[in-house]
Amino acid sequence: MNWTAAVWSGVIAGIVATAVQLALWSAGPDVLPEILYRDARLTAAIVLGRSVLPPPATLAWGVMAVATLIHFALSIIYSMILAGFIARLAVLPALLVGTGYGVALYVINLYGFTVIFPWFAASRDGITLLSHAVLGVIMAGAYKLWTRQRLD
């Protein structure tokens, strides 16, 4: 397994999945930037506690910084785990595994972790599910692309 590829794949996938989620939010019924601020508060509350949860969901730079750090730390960790599963796979099977992995992360994050962090139930929706699937497939694709370039 290529650890550098796994780390960068997590960063790239974290950026792309966030961009997809923002695009879907802007095309749908959700109001930007409020939904972004809400999700940032939900994420930051993992470290900062429930005190950051109450509405209104407004811009708070400290909350955004903590949420961003958590988002990328988890993206990197999740990518390292995925890399262990796909390192020896061909590209197409790796992309399929990555997509399934992203969906599994959605279930784990938004149904499993809500036992500890119940406020994440507010993010259970199709946009979040699709964004997680994108996260997984981009992790897999970026990893395979990175490792292919390094081997040639």
Query: For residue 49, is it left (φ>0), alpha (ψ between -120 and 50) or beta?
Result: left
Q: Which domain holds residue 95?
A: 3-151
Q: Is 92 exposed, middle or buried (0-12, 13-18, 19+ CB in 10 A)?
A: exposed
Task: Give the global pTM.
Answer: 0.93
CB 143 within 8 A of CB 83: yes
User: Which residue type sits at 66?
Assistant: V
How many domains does the structure of the chain reveal? 1
CB 94 within 8 A of CB 144: yes
CA 82, CA 84: separation in Å to the nearest integer? 5
pLDDT tens for the chain, 152 residues long, are 999 999 999 999 999 999 999 999 999 888 999 999 999 999 999 999 999 998 888 899 999 999 999 999 999 999 999 999 999 999 999 999 999 999 999 999 999 999 999 999 999 999 999 999 999 999 999 999 999 855 43
